[in-house]
Amino acid sequence: MSIIADDNDFKSSAIADKKKRSVVKAECLDNDKHFENCIRPKTFDTYIGQSALKETLKITIAAAKKRELPLDHLLFYGPPGLGKTTLAGVIAEQMGVEIKITSAPALERPRDIIGILMSLKEGEILFIDEIHRLNKVAEEILYPAMEDFFLDMTTGKSQTVKTLRIPLPKFTLIGATTKAGELSGPLRDRFGIIHRLEFYTEDELSQVITRTAGILDIEITEEGAHAIAKRSRGTPRIANRLVKRVADYALVKHDGKITEDVANKSLDILKIDNFGLDNTDRSLLKLIIEKYDGGPVGIETIAAAIGEDVRTIEDVCEPFLLQAGLLQRTPRGRKVTPETYRHLGYKNININGQKSLF
């Protein structure tokens, strides 16, 4: 028996569909982890930016598939929020394999890394975030696993000590780090492919923003997307967070649509300036200017004075400030540039003790 649906059936199924979609969207907005997972691109076509890197990776993947071998171990480095984890997920999808995601601080005890290595299947990808924070023991367990796909285990004590070589399936390790320089030489040498992720252009970020808004059913104009992109510090993670905040403002104060004006008003309220700097960035730069005559001043002194920890300053604030030319790193500490004075609206500048006016 076939059932012919009447118009009301269609209407109620459309309503049910819409409800289902809004439940999914509500889940996306539930917390940061859900949000990132909902909007994470799964294919090279939907992954915006990093075009040179994407082209190289596509060739590497095609070659590995032709040879029917797992990919070489890969290391991605670059500032946080540029899509290292996302890219690893795209690679897994493209290779048609599972990916297990962990981070170095979670691999504290030998059994943590041994457990995860032993759970891998042929061809699978193990992604280790913040790999520069791996401890010595975990690193030494990884060396033979990466090189020869073996786990070297020792049993017994002193004179009765025995080494067991346990074979592992051929897997691919993808490591990600914000600090390539802190990786030990032997670990870095075991990666066949090393790539740096670059900051995104305003156009690329604007595409990321439009895509995210589309997934979340948020109406946005091209100018609105560019206004958010301009203040996103070249970083998709920041751009996506700002979309959420601006969408809240658009919904509460306007009709829900993100226009250039709505985006600018909302970002002004959030105290994110037209370079994308927030209060922490500004207090860091102002401190160097006002208390240390433009620098140089040590990072520990800066951290103590503004009440942030050194790691947050080094990993989160500094990469963009350095790239934007608002901060310099010297052997004697951090110093600002003429551009910093100009951007923060100072009339007198002081560089290396030389005072001048704009």
CB of 13 to ligand ADE, least distance (A): 31
Confirm if 171 and 74 have CB atoms less than 8 A apart.
no
List helix spans (H) across the chain: 7-28, 32-39, 51-67, 84-95, 110-118, 136-148, 185-189, 202-215, 222-230, 236-253, 260-269, 279-292, 299-306, 310-312, 318-323, 338-343
User: Is 43 among the residues known to form the active site?
Assistant: no
Judged by CB under 6 A, does residue 89 bind ligand ADE?
Answer: no
User: Is 86 among the residues known to form the active site?
Assistant: no
Residue 352, Cβ density class (10 Å: 0-12 exposed, 13-18 middle, ≥19 buried): exposed
Of 39-47, 164-172, 259-267, 324-332, the window that binds ligand ADE (rule: CB under 6 A) is 39-47
User: Is 46 among the residues known to form the active site?
Assistant: no
Chain position carrying tokens 């403002």: 249
Of 45-53, 174-182, 246-254, 295-303, the window that binds ligand ADE (rule: CB under 6 A) is 45-53
CB of 234 to ligand ADE, least distance (A): 12
Confirm if 235 and 200 have CB atoms less than 8 A apart.
yes
**Facing residues of 101 across strands?**
127
Within positions 208 to 247, which residues make up the interface with ligand ADE, using CB under 6 A? Answer: 208, 211, 236, 240
Nearer to ligand ADE, 213 or 289 (CB): 213
Judged by CB under 6 A, does residue 39 bind ligand ADE?
Answer: yes
Near ligand ADE by CB under 6 A: residue from 70, 78, 79, 83: 83
User: Is 85 among the residues known to form the active site?
Assistant: yes
Residue from 190, 237, 334, 335 carrying the catalytic annotation: 237
Token pair recorded at residue 358: 């704009």
User: Is 253 among the residues known to form the active site?
Assistant: no
Q: Which residues bind ligand ADE (CB under 6 A)?
A: 39, 41, 47-49, 83, 86, 208, 211, 236, 240
